[in-house]
Each structure stands twice: as C-alpha cells, then as structure tokens.
Amino acid sequence: MNRRFALSLLFFLPILASCEPEKPMTEADKKPAKMPEIPAGAEVITLGAGCFWCIDAAYRQLEGVYSATSGYMGGTVENPTYDDICTGDSGHAEVVKVIFDPKKITTEKVIAWFWDLHDPTTLNRQGNDSGTQYRSAIFYHSEEQKKVAEASKAAAAANFKDPIVTEITKASKFYPAENYHQNYYQQNKSKNPYCRFVIEPKLKKLKLDH
C-alpha cells in the first residue's frame, strides 16, 4: 500500500479532514525546488528513510543543519516527478539532502538521528508505505562518510531485533522534489491526516517540535 492509497482510505473516515490542499496548487508549486547554497566548510549527506516528509520535518529542527531538501536519488529516470516515483519503477528513493555544519553537528550525530527516525529493518517499507522508493538508504558524499556510515550501522544493529537492511551507497545525481513537498509537514499538518497520524507521533517520540 503506498502513501497515496493509504491517504485515500483515510479520506473517507469522517473524523479526518481532507488530505487535499485547501486550494489548487500553482504551477510554481509543481516545479522542482531550487537547491540552497552550500556554505563554506559545510558537509552534505543524503538520507532515505521512507517518506521524505518525515525526514524533512525532523532534520530541519536540528542545530547545525543549514537545510534539508526533499528529493529523489538512486534511480535511472532523469528529472523524475512525484508521479514517476509513486509507480515504484523509477529506481529512485525518496530522500532528503542534508547540508550541515560539522563544527556544530557531526556526521556521526546526523546518522544517529537517521536510525531513530525510522525502522531500518523493513525492506522497502515504512509502515503502510511500501515500494523501493521507501527503502532505507544512506547516500554518502565522501569516503570518510562511507566509513562513518558503516561503523554507525554496525553499532546500531544492537538496538534492533531484526537485521538492518539499510543500503550504504555512493551519492548519485540528486533531483529536488517539487516545491510543494518542501517543509511539507509545517505547511500541511493541520489539514493532512498523514501529517497528524504518522509524522507528528515520530516528532513527539524524538522530543522535537510538532
């Protein structure tokens, strides 16, 4: 069951508000977001942990994180749209590209949050979101990041009953998702059931603003 189908089911429950936007999206909303500049001395890592709305909502709050941009990585389709991703055939994962200040938050800490944000033991699935686009993945941007990710994965294994299935892969071309996906939780938490019933509990568990 993918996220759209799950939301369509929730739509018919009278206790939930519509998951549709309060007004139609503009053409600007549908265009890929512009990537923020990378400050001098900053590092970049790209993470896939299921729905990118969830990852975005958490990493934006961490001290030392300059930006978190939702997008797509790891597939073969060029310039993918959200509709392409939802088919599960693009090869891309929903990811968030995190730009951070290593003097304020280390790579180890960035990845530690990653393990807390999702269940890395479920292959191509997070809750009702299923498909390769929801796979658990760390896309490293340097050999040092690769070493840190592998060590962190080995250490995190002790915290899970089942084996971790997270892939650790060299970053490929990143495609920013459409503008309406950026900072999605803050923009839609009052009107989208997915925000209230999936993302909000994650943020509460992690003691982040919700």
Question: ∠ at Cα 67 (126, 52), nearest 5°?
Answer: 15
Q: Is the separation of the CB atoms in 136 and 50 below 8 Å? A: yes
Give the span between the Cα atoms of 164 and 156, in whole angstroms.
Answer: 8
Q: How far apart are CA 138 and CA 145, in angstroms?
A: 10
166 and 120 in contact (C-beta within 8 Å)?
A: yes
Let me know: does 140 contact 146? Beta carbons within 8 Å.
yes
Q: Cα(22)–Cα(96) distance, rounded to whole angstroms? A: 25
86 among known catalytic residues:
no
Burial of 156: CB neighbours in 10 Å, binned 0-12, 13-18, 19+: middle
Is 19 within 8 Å of 194 (Cβ atoms)? yes
**Of 19, 51, 54, 195, which residue is the catalytic one?**
51
C-alpha–C-alpha distance, residues 86 and 191, integer Å: 21
DSSP bridge partners of 95: 71
> Would you please indicate which residues are annotated as catalytic (active-site) residues?
51
